[in-house]
Amino acid sequence: MSRIENRGRHLEQIAEVRQGSTSAKVGYPIRIREVEVLRSYPLGAGLIRVILGGPGTDGFEAHSPDEHVKLIFPEPDGELRLPEPNGLMLSWPRPSPTTREYTVRGYDPVTGELAIDIALHGTGLGANWARTVEPGATVHVAGPPGGLIVPHNYDRYLLAGDLTALPAIDRWLEELPRTAAGWAFIEVADASEEIELSAPEDMAVHWLHRGASPPGTGDMLERAVRTVSIPDGERCFVWLAGEAGQLKPLRRWVRDELKLAKTDYDITGYWKRGVADYDDDHEH
C-alpha cells in the first residue's frame, strides 16, 4: 500500500468518526522531523509556548486536541539518538532515547508553524529547555502517532485537568463548535497561571486555585468535577488528564456512577508525582 493511499484512508476514517456519534482513536503515519525554534513566550506564569517551524513542519498532521508529539533530546554525553523511518511507523533505537511528550497545541498549515505549550512545574528537562531555548535552535519531533477523534454532536462536554492538561483543554475549547455546552475545570496554583481561553458561550470555565499545595496533591479537582450533574437523556463526553493518582477516583466516578460507554470518555495520566518520564496511564 502506498503512503498516499494510507494517508487517504486515515483522513477518510477521521471524517467518518466526526460524522458519527461516538469517538474513536485514529492512527496517523508517524514521522520524525527536524524543526527550528522560531520564538517562544510565556503564557501566564505556568506555561511557555514554543513555536516551531521551517521546512521540517511541512505536511504535519494535526486532527485532535489530545494528540501529542515527542521531543527528542541529546543524551547526557551529547549524543543524539533518533528513530528511523520504517514505512508508516518509526523504529526506535534501544535503549530508548531521552524524550518528553507534549500535546500539540496547534498547527497552521499556511505558515507551517507548530505550537507546543510546555508546563513549568518543577525543574525537569523539558521545562528547562523551554526556559532557555533560543530562536534558531533545532529540535527533533516524532509523531503524532494519532489522536482521539470526537464527534461534535454530544449534548455536553466535560473537560478537566491540571496545568499539564491546560494546552489540550485550551485547544478543545477553541475547536469545539460555538454552540457546544458543558464544563471545563482547570487546577492551577493561582490566578497567575490562568490564560485567556476561546470557550464557547455555554461552556462554563472554572479555574481552581491550589495555592501553596504541590502540584498533583489534594482532591480539589475531583471534588469540583463531581459537582457536575448531566441532565437525564443527554449524551456527555468526558475528557480528563493530569496527575495519574489524582485521576483514579474520577476514573471510578465516570465508570461506576456516570456509567458512560467507553467511547464516551477519555482519561489519561499525563504525569505521576516523583516519576521523571512517566509513560501515560491511558483509559479510553
Please tell me the predicted confidence (pLDDT) of residue 122: 66
SS3 187: strand
Peptide bond into 109 cis (omega under 30): no
Give every CB contact of residue 26 below 8 A, 6+ residues apart in sequence. Answer: 10, 13, 14, 17, 63, 64, 146, 147, 148, 149
- The tens digit of pLDDT for each residue in 227-263 reads 999 999 999 999 999 999 999 999 999 999 999 999 9
pLDDT of residue 243: 95
Grid coordinates in use for 62? 494535526
Average pLDDT over the chain, rounded to an integer:
93
Query: What is the structure's pLDDT at 278?
Result: 57
User: Distance (Å, rounded) from C-alpha 15 to C-alpha 1?
Assistant: 21
Helix runs in the chain, H state only: 3-19, 125-132, 166-175, 220-225, 244-252
pLDDT of residue 65: 96
Residue pair 268/280 in contact by the 8 Å Cβ criterion: yes
100 to 114, 270, 272, 279: CA distances (angstroms): 16, 11, 14, 10
The residue written with cell numbers 468535577 in the block is 225
> What is the Cα–Cα distance from 72 to 113, expressed in whole angstroms?
19
What are the structural domain ranges in the chain? 3-147, 152-271
Q: In a structure prediction context, what are the per-residue pLDDT tens digits for the chain, which is 284 residues long?
A: 233 345 568 999 999 999 999 999 999 999 999 999 999 999 999 999 999 999 999 999 999 999 999 999 999 999 999 999 999 999 999 999 999 999 999 999 999 999 999 999 766 899 999 999 999 999 999 999 999 999 999 999 999 999 999 999 999 999 999 999 999 999 999 999 999 999 999 999 999 999 999 999 999 999 999 999 999 999 999 999 999 999 999 999 999 999 999 999 999 999 998 776 655 544 33
Using DSSP, how many helices (H) and how many strands (E) does the chain show? 5, 16
* pLDDT at residue 273 in the model: 85
Query: Is the CATH code 3.40.50.80 the one for domain 152-271?
Result: yes
What pLDDT is recorded for position 61? 93
Position 274 scores a pLDDT of: 77
Q: Which residues lie below 8 Å from residue 223, measured CB to CB, with a gap of 6+? A: none
For the domain bounded by 3-147, which CATH number is listed?
A: 2.40.30.10
